[in-house]
Amino acid sequence: MARRGEVDLLVSRETVQEFARVLGYPKFGLATDEIAEILGDLRTFAEYVEVIEAVSVIADDPTDNIFLALARAGRASRIVSGDRHLLLLRSFEGIPILSVRAFLEEM
């Protein structure tokens, strides 16, 4: 949807680094060059946002806070995630947090 210009996909330096780390998990079975290709493609259609202010809301998995900080800095209208820590919040500063399924149903 972002590639087609139907939605804006926001990324930050921190979230791209996290995507790279997670894509490296053995369960995805991706080689380093495949991860680099995915991230390179992402940069062609995602909107880069500079995040200046950190957020500390999720104590159980502090890495998840980078997505909240990105949403705030980028003035996101939605946070779409499969992460349970984020989904348990349901919203952040008035920004709804939706599962991919809920987001697609809404669209």
pLDDT in tens, 42-81: 989 999 999 999 999 999 999 999 999 999 999 999 999 9
The structure tokens listed for 78 are 């939605």
Cα separation, 96 vs 94, in Å, equals 6
Burial class (CB in 10 A: 0-12, 13-18, 19+), 25: exposed
Structure confidence at residue 40 as a pLDDT band (50, 70, 90): very high
pTM, two decimals, is 0.91
Question: Under DSSP, is residue 10 helix (H, G, I), strand (E, B) or coil?
Answer: strand
